[in-house]
Amino acid sequence: MTSPFGRRLHFVAGKGGVGKTTVAAALARTFAESGRRTLAIEMDTSGRLAAMLDAKVSIGTPTRVAPNLSVASIDGRVALEEYLGLIIPVKRLLSTIFSSRIYQYFVAAAPGLKELMTVGKVWYEATRKEGDRFAWDAVVVDAPATGHGLQYLRMPQAARETFGAGLVQREAAKVVDLLQDARTTAVHLVTLAEDMPVTEAIEAHAQITGPLGLPAGAIVVNRVHGRRFAPDVLAKLTDAPASGEQRALLRAVAERAVEETSWAEINAQHLERLRAAIKDPLIVLPYLFTEEFGEAEMAELVARLREAGASPVAGGATDASAEGRLR
């Protein structure tokens, strides 16, 4: 079996607040640093992904931010106008369309249009070629939070089934074919090893692999506590001969150690839930104790992803040992 990271199109999805954008940025960095020409896309214009990659928001047009790494934000309305520009080459006619009230009303009122055009733009970048090769070896998409993100991924199928034979159905079918191609696409889920995030990840995975028919990638469990302290060590800290500030300091250290041990046990229980419910590759990223997330922390996550086998050559598989480490 090939690693899901050897594919070209990667959606990173997950519940809000689990570090999805951070993981998407780290994954894009991992691919780029392994020599793959990588495009990181955020499916809105908030600029959070761009900020994680030390870049300014660039709507529509990819902007190079590092060797082998570019970033772009997608706005559904801009994507629609870009698409119309491709199929209607007469600029004068385009200008008339864009300024008409009917067009303005259509863009504002058409249900699912923004989602459809956003995913269509992703399809365009993932399939665009320069000469005889694809423009990008890897495209990493930071999807919206789980519910909204699945709505985006569902829209091409809905358009294909809703519209009769014609341009919209043909274009939607192209997008669906790419999204469901397990040789090209992977949908990675980011979660925390806690009750509600794990429950939502399991439900989202069922939707992705069931009704949506999309190829699952890896389950990335973020911010995992792994340190456990033996009771006798904690007892020694609490009962250590000291006085005044030293005794208060040792007790505070002991309290934090107890708290960290409790979190590690909770996280371990929910990791087992995930392993029992989902058989896809599982990657564990550690909780990074820092006042502010910066370059050192990003480099740490990139190193962890690389160790887990997330940097195979474009279109290839990881070796057997790397594939094993994913579990």
CA distances to 44, 77, 116, 274 from 81, rounded to whole Å, are 16, 6, 13, 42
98 pLDDT tier (thresholds 50, 70, 90): low
Percent of the chain topping pLDDT 90 = 52
pLDDT at site 241: 78
pLDDT at site 82: 72
DSSP character string of 77-93 = HHHHHHHHHHH---HHH
Strand stretches in the chain, DSSP E: 9-14, 38-42, 63-66, 69-73, 129-130, 133-134, 138-145, 185-192, 216-224, 282-286
Distance CA 163, CA 235 (A): 69
pTM of this structure: 0.84
Distance CA 139, CA 121 (A): 12
DSSP character string of 3-17 = -GGGSSEEEEEE-TT
pLDDT at site 1: 39
Other beta carbons less than 10 A from residue 20's beta carbon? 27
Which of helix, strand or coil describes residue 189?
Answer: strand
Q: Which of 15-24, 124-133, 149-158, 311-320 has the lowest mean pLDDT?
A: 311-320
pLDDT value at 19 more than 60: yes
pLDDT at site 55: 84
User: Please, what is the average pLDDT of the chain?
Assistant: 85
Distance CA 307, CA 301 (A): 10
Domains and CATH numbers, the chain: 4-226+280-325 (3.40.50.300)
319 pLDDT tier (thresholds 50, 70, 90): very low
Angle at 72 between CA 68 and CA 78, to 5 degrees: 150
| pLDDT tens digits for range 114-143 | 788 888 889 999 999 999 999 999 999 999
Other beta carbons less than 10 A from residue 40's beta carbon? 31
Mean pLDDT for the stretch of residues 301-311: 90
Mean pLDDT for the stretch of residues 1-8: 81
> Do 285 and 223 form a contact (C-beta atoms < 8 A)?
yes
For 205, residues 6+ apart whose C-beta sits below 8 A from its C-beta are 189, 216, 219, 277, 278, 280
Q: Write the Ramachandran bin of 17: left for phi over 0, alpha for psi from -120 to 50, otherwise beta.
A: left
Q: Which of 53-67, 77-91, 271-285 has the lowest mean pLDDT?
A: 77-91
Higher per-residue pLDDT: 113 or 185: 185
Mean pLDDT for the stretch of residues 256-264: 91
Distance CA 306, CA 285 (A): 11
270 pLDDT tier (thresholds 50, 70, 90): very high
